[in-house]
Homo-oligomer: A and B are copies of this chain.
Amino acid sequence: MAGQTAGSIRARVRAEMTDEIKRIARRHLATDGANLSLRAVARDLGVVSSALYRYFASRDELLTALILDAYNALGEASETGDASVTDRSDLTGRWLATANAIRSWAVEFPHEYALIYGSPVPGYVAPQDTVGPAARPTVVFTTLLVEGHARGVIKAPRGDRLPSPVRADVAALLQVMAPGLPASIMARGMVAWTELFGAISFELFGRLHGVIYDYQAWYDHQMRAMAEYVGLPT
Contacts and interface: CB of A to CB of B under 8 A. Distances in A.
Interface of A: 30-33, 35, 114-115, 117-123, 162-163, 165-166, 168-169, 173, 187-188, 191, 194-199, 201-202, 205-207, 211-214, 217-218, 220-222, 225-226, 229
Q: Say how many copies of this protein the assembly contains.
A: 2
- CB-based closest 8 A-B pairs: A198-B198, A118-B119, A114-B119, A165-B214, A165-B217, A33-B122, A194-B198, A195-B195
Contacts of A220: 163
A141 to B, nearest CB: 13
A194 B199 contact: yes
A122 B198 contact: no
Nearest to A113: B119
Nearest to A157: B225
Contacts of A119: 33, 114-115, 118-119, 205
6 contacts: A32-B122, A114-B120, A118-B119, A165-B214, A191-B222, A191-B226
A197 B201 contact: yes
Chain A interface helix/strand/loop/mixed: helix
Contacts of A120: 114, 205-206
Contacts of A217: 163, 165-166, 169
A163 B218 CA distance: 9
Contact of A122 (B30, B211, B212): B30
A191 B194 CA distance: 11
A25 to B, nearest CB: 14
A222 B123 CA distance: 31
A33 B115 CA distance: 14
Contacts of A118: 118-119, 205
A138 to B, nearest CB: 9
A131 B162 CA distance: 38
A32 B166 CA distance: 34
